[in-house]
Structure 1
């Protein structure tokens, strides 16, 4: 490790007021005026979040004397010239009341932060090694608090932290510093080993989690993914940071950890039988974020090889880095034996439903959706379903379509698995190799090179166009039939509603729908249909007695104005899909679902043994 040049300290100074005190010391500050900046966003969540808005006080000092600070833009400060290079410290108070995986949260029960929301970066020194002193809050009430983070301890330094303790940690650069979230508190801790790599789970919040069940299931997920890309794993240790609350869901990936937010009911409880849907969803989230340890953290789009933390970093490839990860998250659960094929096919069908329900898929391409994530996907409004395609969901279906295409055309000699492993070999960042960022055409070129197929039309339509994916025909060689049926027999307004107590409001009016043609708009408060009051439970009853083509009279408030509309009802929504296995035995399907190839000498042998139950 190079000599330390930047020193930080962070302490929950006023937990009851949600305030951290954060210090940043530059040992040789720019004598002409050192600049400091807080990131505008956090990698993995593509929205300008302006973390600097949470800075409530900031000052600087050198040699015990105050130094003037000038704010030169929304997140950058410049210290007054010192005349010569000497140590300069900036002390900031940061408000932390964002209970999410992206920011910082502090109260008397725990502290959590991502470095991007609390640590100023000393401009011009971003590649210098850092020391971080993580300090306990003052007072006897916090004597039982511990620290959970994948940030390496500063072994060999005076004051180095003990395992799970307060004290000194180190990072090789600012980029590494902000890629290790930190939890402080009286969390529950469990450990397991996957392919020789130590893993931990730290759970904050009240819960009754069966830690044995959770570690057993996560071991299977992590070992499968490590073996999928190939041992050794790229991380020396890994940490799942879980915050359990009443109702929440979210995750954010990091190089050796993930921050997860879940409902406490999502966690397994003692004596739980089977795999309830809520727990299955949580395992899928864990699988998704763990897969990101390769796909986006170490295999990066070219635009992410060096993050610009001051502004948007545009790429057209989020459909691959999020969509492909979304394809493999639940597929991992299948291949490691946690769910069966029938359940996985149900999950794929739900993804198809999700994409087909939104007209935006016919307007926006996946490449455009990736590029516009900063202004559209992460800033949804009432018209988002009409204008935006979800690059997670449709990206997962493109991964499915590409996998099926490669397998069918090469008789399972080549698959998307091989594409992912080749991306890792050529573009992955490891201790001894930092591959180049993935370019716009690299995924297609790798798939073509491995398979010998011409895939230009596939990518033109699936990624850069808006035609529907031919999933039914692609699934047919695998003995799977895709069926589409009406979700219900009730004629439709063509709108999504929300409830407010006993009131019903239009949340989204779909493009070209009966509601839109009649003039209804998002935000309208539905009052009555044909003179009868609309309620959350009564809306379905009022519509189910009608037929498609019937005209109804709708009264609604728009703001404070009463309006009347004549709506000709449309046919029932046809957005329910099912994937049925047509035949019991199908070699292509078996190799696909179990992750096998046509022969051991085709690139490499099978990555895992046959599953303990029938998944074909």
Structure 2
């Protein structure tokens, strides 16, 4: 028994994929059809079914059958003979990492937003036929899905999946893309860029190889036979989504390394490498190591868990840390990245109002649908989870006298849960940590997870040769700190350039901007009756007297508003990490092989 899916992209100017599903049936048996409401790794109800059009079902004689609507994403049909044929179209015009996109330049789809599931046949093999696209002779196919014996790599044709879950876990890109390959540990890796780029391919291979090798070494082996990095290049964009043997990335085309500057490591390229590192680490941590609430996935509704701090937070800790361990950045550069992470948490009050366990649990609304007040009321399980991972790594190293580390804990979790498809619990992390430390740390561990309070790592960091200091912000919109003790103007807001002025993107509570009545989405056009831009506001602020009320004009919607605002001296809430003992930091870098 096999369920046969076919997909065609000829209707690219209308952004419509044509999808057909055929399978053998038993007469008078009722079949339940549905589309997932969300996809693993992106914890928000997406309602993919809204993009399905012209859904119809026919029997083996091409006679139409009646479809019964069950809810917004589910239908029922009763077979009348030995075959059912389903046809529908999917509107595809979302060039994100989550859904589907199609135009005359390229196509892309995640199976979760594209392929209907047949509830009664979820565990039977699936075959997907991807049809060639008329008038697009240079287009090819990139996917981690298993190729049939008659289909060569990058070809249109037949692809196979063991079941529906595997079918929707293998995203597909089609187009005239650039692709190159490299081996890590004898495993073929593919790098695919779905649109024009100017990046240094050799540099990308060299750096990404180091990161992949680091992760494989950490977990001791790779759980896949090949891997695909599929990247959407845009004028501006950023994101990633993990799959078992592939990832979909999104970045700016000029974030890639410049071949004319082979030694240059820009912040943008460093961020791209961290993204590759993050999603590759997920091949173990969340694709296979999962919280017990996700085993198995229920994609029809929200699946709540308090453990996202472990899956996104630990992954976020390793994504940048592995850049240092792999020799791509030095330790000073790593500390700068870590300082920014800590500052992002420390500058707002969200950490004092929401625990990281609650942040995980309410990801479906509070994190994935953040409102303008988010910085003041929620904490990121990515960022704070990464800091808890740092605490856990250094605590295990310290208490075990460098015999074990977070590396050891992750391998224990991998061997005992991920490889066996057993869901994790918070208690499992605590028990393994206790064993590695040789003492009970569960009370402190649980407190970090469940209480809304600051994490003080100063004493722990000093044991590893790093001093934590608090400093002023470098400038109005920066997360970087400065050692300068002189007056540095501060408003407590973030902004970006807009057509008519500065668009406010964040307001910190109890800040000068908050006291002046400014709000997110306001457009500041003038301060002290002078037009402001992203380039002159800093100079203007530095020349104005501190704590003196001055006029500020802004638009809220289409109404011009005037308020009085006062620049104050920057608070010392930017956290900075500095090396104080070089010999001690080597203990932090070491990959510990013992399990």
Match of residue 145 from structure 2: 151
Q: Distance in 2 between matches of 1:478 and 1:554?
A: 47
Q: Contact 1:556/1:563 (CA < 8 Å) preserved in 2?
A: yes
Match of residue 478 from structure 1: 464
Instruction: Classify the secondary structure of the residue corresponding to 2:228.
Output: strand
Match of residue 121 from structure 2: 125
Q: Distance in 1 between matches of 2:556 and 2:170?
A: 47
- Cα offset, 1:28, TM superposition: 1.7
- Give deviations 1:267-307, integer Å, cap 9, x for gaps: 23434322232222111111110000000001001111111
- Cα offset, 1:171, TM superposition: 0.8
Query: Among 222, 239, 246, which residue is 2:228 paired with?
Result: 239
- Aligned residues between the structures: 581
Match of residue 157 from structure 2: 167
Q: Contact 2:109/2:173 (CA < 8 Å) preserved in 1?
A: yes
RMSD: 2.0
1:307-386 equivalence runs, <5 A: 307-386=297-376
Q: Contact 2:399/2:438 (CA < 8 Å) preserved in 1?
A: no
1:553-568 equivalence runs, <5 A: 553-568=551-566
Match of residue 55 from structure 1: 52
TM-score by length of 2: 0.93
- Cα offset, 1:437, TM superposition: 0.2
Q: Distance in 2 between matches of 1:466 and 1:550?
A: 35
Q: Distance in 2 between matches of 1:189 and 1:531?
A: 54
Q: Distance in 2 between matches of 1:491 and 1:25?
A: 66
- Give deviations 1:162-214, integer Å, cap 9, x for gaps: 22211111111111110001111221221111112111112210112322222
- Cα offset, 1:389, TM superposition: 0.6
- Confirm or deny that 1:76 pairs with 2:66: no
Instruction: Classify the secondary structure of the residue corresponding to 1:322.
Output: helix
1:436-451 equivalence runs, <5 A: 436-451=422-437
- Cα offset, 1:564, TM superposition: 4.5
Gaps of 5+ in 2: 475-486
Q: Contact 2:546/2:567 (CA < 8 Å) preserved in 1?
A: yes
Query: Among 510, 519, 522, which residue is 2:520 paired with?
Result: 522
Q: Distance in 2 between matches of 1:34 and 1:395?
A: 42
Q: Distance in 2 between matches of 1:396 and 1:509?
A: 24
- Cα offset, 1:115, TM superposition: 0.4
Instruction: Classify the secondary structure of the residue corresponding to 1:199.
Output: strand
- Cα offset, 1:154, TM superposition: 2.6
Instruction: Classify the secondary structure of the residue corresponding to 1:119.
Output: coil
Q: Distance in 1 between matches of 2:556 and 2:80?
A: 64
Instruction: Classify the secondary structure of the residue corresponding to 1:466.
Output: coil
- Confirm or deny that 1:583 pairs with 2:572: no
Q: Distance in 2 between matches of 1:560 and 1:166?
A: 51
TM-score by length of 1: 0.90
1:146-545 equivalence runs, <5 A: 146-155=140-149, 160-231=150-221, 233-274=222-263, 275-429=265-419, 434-488=420-474, 489-545=487-543
Q: Contact 1:205/1:244 (CA < 8 Å) preserved in 2?
A: yes
Match of residue 97 from structure 1: 93
- Give deviations 1:460-502, integer Å, cap 9, x for gaps: 3321112211121111011111122111443333223343223
Q: Contact 1:502/1:536 (CA < 8 Å) preserved in 2?
A: no
Q: Distance in 2 between matches of 1:58 and 1:125?
A: 19
Gaps of 5+ in 1: 598-602, 605-616
- Cα offset, 1:539, TM superposition: 3.4
Q: Contact 1:23/1:92 (CA < 8 Å) preserved in 2?
A: yes
Match of residue 35 from structure 1: 32
- Cα offset, 1:314, TM superposition: 0.9
- Give deviations 1:339-378, integer Å, cap 9, x for gaps: 2212111111111122122221111111111111110111
- Give deviations 1:373-394, integer Å, cap 9, x for gaps: 1101111221111111111111
Instruction: Classify the secondary structure of the residue corresponding to 1:486.
Output: strand
